[in-house]
Amino acid sequence: MSMSKHDFAISHDPRPGTPAHWLDALGHAAVQLATSLPEPLRRVVRALPMQPPSLALARLLDRVLLPHLDSAMHRAWSGRVVCLDLEDLGLRLRLRLDARGFGVAPGGAPVAITIRSTSACLWRLARGIDDADRLFFERELVMEGDTEFGLMVKNTLDAIGPLWR
């Protein structure tokens, strides 16, 4: 049986046994794994194809971010490639928004912005535990590329609030 990205919804219900609870636990486990991964395994992760984790992140963003983007924001983000560089894992995830939602950006497409950080910092940011400005000024979160687009992304995310509660 094939599932489309619209076949299920993620609620933000933190009760045990709910999808939100399981995804929250999975997020915590992934961060713990990333911080304890020995360097030989990091080299293996860096050598793996980036499309599967990029696709997984795209599907998650379709659930937790896309519903919050109004039509003007959707148009402003459309076609722009965002590269998420998870330094602790050596993953470089490439995403692009189009009419169908978030998806994996083709390898040759120019990158509008690159966001570089660790998985732990990004997880705390997504949950609203840390502030993007503080992480930026402490150099734990680095954004490179189109400054105007990067500021628009940051302001949009700030206006939405935590993506994961």
Domains annotated on the chain, with CATH: 19-160 (3.30.1050.10)
DSSP-based three-state secondary structure for 84: strand
Do 112 and 146 form a contact (C-beta atoms < 8 A)? yes
Amino acid 59: pLDDT: 93
Mean pLDDT of the chain: 81
For helices 19-36 and 119-126, give the axis angle rounded to 10 degrees: 150
pLDDT tens for each residue of 30-83: 666 666 777 787 778 778 788 888 998 899 899 889 999 999 999 999 999 999
The residue assigned the tokens 């003007």 is: 72
Strand segments, DSSP code E, in 5-161 are 81-86, 91-98, 101-104, 111-117, 142-145
pLDDT over 90 at 165, yes or no: no
Residue 92: name the closest of 107, 79, 103 by CA: 107
Residue 148 is predicted with a pLDDT of 94
Residues 154 and 65: their CA atoms lie apart, in Å, by 13
How high is the pLDDT of residue 67?
92
Q: What is the pLDDT of residue 12?
A: 45
For residues 60 and 27, the answer to whether their CB atoms sit within 8 Å is no
Q: State the Cα–Cα distance between residues 124 and 128, nearest whole angstrom.
A: 6
